[in-house]
Amino acid sequence: MNAIPDADRRFSDQWLMLRESADHLARDSQLTHAADRWLSARATPTRPLVTQRTIVDLGCGSGSNLRYLAPRLHGTQHWRLIDHDASLLARARLRCEGLRSADARPVHLETCEMDLDTAIRRGLEGTDLVTASALFDLLSPGWVEALASRCQAQGCAALFALSIDGEIHFHDTTGTAVENDDDRFAFAALAAHQRRDKGQGPALGSQAPNHLRQSFYRHGYRVREATTPWRLGPESLPLAEALLAGWHRALHEQVPEQRERVDRWHGARLDAVMRGRLTLTVGHRDLFAIPGGASA
Ligand SMILES: C[S@@+](CC[C@H](N)C(=O)[O-])C[C@H]1O[C@@H](n2cnc3c(N)ncnc32)[C@H](O)[C@@H]1O
């Protein structure tokens, strides 16, 4: 199960399924409602009869974002699912066939095996809303800038969920944050690992929310954001365990000379989480952006 992507940015379906309920619980419902309202008001004097909304899901994986959003949005929906992993796309289609909108309209699916660079050039035609979840830490500032520019040209809105913001904390049973030197060392090395080049130059890592906000703002968008952390307690132990295992592997890659310190930190924190002595909070942000003028 890869909680941390391969060098070529691939993830296991097992990991994506394991995180899905925590993702859906964390997401900000107000921003989803705002996207729904914006789409409902999208019919314009030049397109009065257009009732179907075209929604593009970038880096869709096995369809978690679609499963969250489609039943919360009104009207007939055409979803274009974009990912470079054909096996995840096949699973997305299998698991999302038959979904209905909030008002029981059809949800049509189109799957595109495509790299995200190509998606910016050729994947956004006719889009009303571009969306993504748990994606942007992998990408570069230049790619986000190109996306904002393409969205502006298209005049579509953007809803991006669950971009990591680097706010990782352990809490004890009284809710007090707990952090020692080994945590600070591990989180700093993890942040450096997240910024490693993943094919487009240095990746955004936990700077993704800031870059998204600034890029869309620069392109004339009105932007709203919400913090959407995972709060992993006793009911989320398999997810916490898999996440800590992913971090363990990443830390071995990032600071191989500190193997003993990494193993000690991982062993101690995993033990405390599994025994219910600590909970783990992992920060994310959601963002909703609409093109110039209108209010988000
Ligand atoms: C962390 S997963 C998130 C999947 C899904 N959005 C979710 O929330 O479950 C990131 C997804 O982006 C896809 N991805 C990463 N880099 C990509 C690229 N350059 N081109 C196309 N897809 C990419 C991966 O295959 C993976 O499905």
**Domains in the chain: how many in total?**
1
pLDDT in tens, 227-271: 999 999 999 999 999 999 999 999 999 999 999 999 999 999 999
Tell me how far apart the terminal alpha carbons of the chain are, to the nearest angstrom.
Answer: 38
| 1 domain-assigned | no
160 ligand 1 Cβ < 6 A: no
| 8 domain-assigned | no
Q: Which ligand 1 atom lies nearest to the CA of residue 10?
A: 25
Ligand 1 pocket, mutate which of 13, 79, 84 (most atoms under 8 A from CB): 84
The low-confidence residues of the chain, meaning pLDDT below 50, are none
DSSP track, 137-160 = GGS-HHHHHHHHHHHHHHT-EEEE
Q: Which residue has the tokens 């990443």?
A: 250
| 247 domain-assigned | yes
* pTM of this prediction exceeds 0.85: yes
| 134 domain-assigned | yes
Which residues, 6+ apart, have CB-to-CB distance to 214 below 8 Å? none
pLDDT of residue 136: 96
| 296 domain-assigned | no
Tokens describing residue 145: 């800038």
Domain of 61 in residue numbering reads as 13-290
| 240 domain-assigned | yes
Which residues, 6+ apart, have CB-to-CB distance to 289 below 8 Å? 151, 157, 158, 159, 212, 216, 221, 222, 223, 224, 296
The closest of 224, 32, 53, 49 to 127, measured between CA atoms, is: 53
pLDDT of residue 3: 72
pLDDT in tens, 15-52: 999 999 999 999 999 999 999 999 998 765 555 556 78
Q: In whole angstroms, give the CA distance from residue 148 to residue 213.
A: 10
Per-residue H/E/C for 185-206: HHHHHHHHHHCCECCCCECCHH
Q: In whole angstroms, give the CA distance from residue 278 to residue 276.
A: 6
| 4 domain-assigned | no
| 136 domain-assigned | yes
In CATH, what number is assigned to the domain containing residue 34?
A: 3.40.50.150
Tokens describing residue 8: 């070529």
198 ligand 1 Cβ < 6 A: no
137 ligand 1 Cβ < 6 A: no
